[in-house]
Copies of this chain bind each other. A is one copy, B any other.
Amino acid sequence: MTTSKTSPRRITQRRIAELAGVSQATVSLVLNDKADGAARIPEETRDRVLKVLKETGYVADPAARRLAGVGNKIIGVFTYEPAFPTESLDFYTPLLSGIEAEAEELGCDLLIFTSAPVVEGTRQLFHQHNRLRLADGVLLLGREMDADELATLVRDGYRVVAVGRRDAPDIPYVGIDYASATEALLRRALELGHRRIMFLTDARGGESGADRLRGYERALDGESVQSVVHPTDGGRIGADWLAVREFAPTLLVVESPSVGAAIRDQAIADGIDVPTALSMIVLGSPSRVSENDVDFTRLAPPRAELGGLAVSLLSRILSDDDEPAESELRTLIDCAIVDGSTLVAPEVHA
């Protein structure tokens, strides 16, 4: 039960009050700079209290403050997968970097809900001892989120911002406009002359995957293009590559750089040159640094920026005097396109 034996004589406002010869209430008033209205504290008294505060290095107990109904500048961070293991590192790290920077700017601490038990691969937000309420608001990170959980959060009055667009209604988010970026990138390919295109989708893509697909379809809409959308076979690149060979597109669109690299290896092994015989586009996350051996033409989602924006949106939601308009609660930011070397005009077989 880890009963933290409170150490002998924790210093409290009462103690400060004794030392300064005032009441506890006065200490609180001085501390919180509430010198207006009914409570008036002359300079002299204030200084006396401040002096003792300095000397003792007193800091208010955040738990007590919280209980007394004051925000405590803590932002909860919930990641649906462990955040730091190397696998998910490249996904979460840029986000966390942006979040940390903005939180530091705002003077907020971050409460990471590592205690959430893992069930079937993802963490469960609600559990017997969740500390959600300790935070003023919560940031949700992850590719996929349970819609019911999100609804419960909102219903229970938690202040929440999701990182990444969400279908669930009423939940504020900051996302990346994958649809537009994908559409733009594909239009570029169309202009180069590609008319036989294959899209290798990732089934576990969540909303952002759906957005990419939508962008893809928007770009192709009305164009006379032969297109196939093929879900990847859960990492079994061999099967995927067979499907690609069979359809024989001039352009292959994949979601992640790792899949892209694997496919490209297969292609080269089969004597199919990338990009001359097969152009490739990557829509997903930027590869981890060690993977950037292939200079893919790809999307470069500004993750760090996204993290920072999520924090600042949450902060505004929490604030009394700067509440965002309804339209600001759900926004998408532009996604950069990286001009790599894997998209060229298709060979002409005439």
Contact = CB atoms under 8 A, between A and B. Distances in A.
Interface stretch (A112-120, A199-207, A214-222): A112-120
A70 B112 contact: no
Nearest to A100: B84
A2 B137 CA distance: 11
Contact of A8 (B32, B118, B152, B157): B157
Interface string A124-149: 00101111111010000000000000
Nearest to A77: B112
Contacts of A71: 1-4
Contact of A63 (B129, B133, B319): B133
B2 A131 contact: no
B63 A1 contact: no
A110 B111 CA distance: 6
Interface stretch (A101-109, A163-171, A187-195, A332-340): A101-109
Contact of A134 (B69, B118, B134, B152): B134
Contacts of A8: 157
Interface residues of A, number: 70
Interface stretch (A89-97, A250-258, A265-273): A89-97
Contacts of A108: 114-115
A2 B84 contact: no
8 contacts: A3-B69, A4-B70, A67-B67, A72-B131, A74-B111, A93-B93, A109-B115, A134-B134
Interface of A: 1-8, 10, 32, 57, 59-64, 66-67, 69-74, 82-86, 89, 93, 96-97, 99-101, 103-104, 107-115, 117-118, 126, 128-134, 136, 152, 156-157, 159, 288-290, 315, 318-320
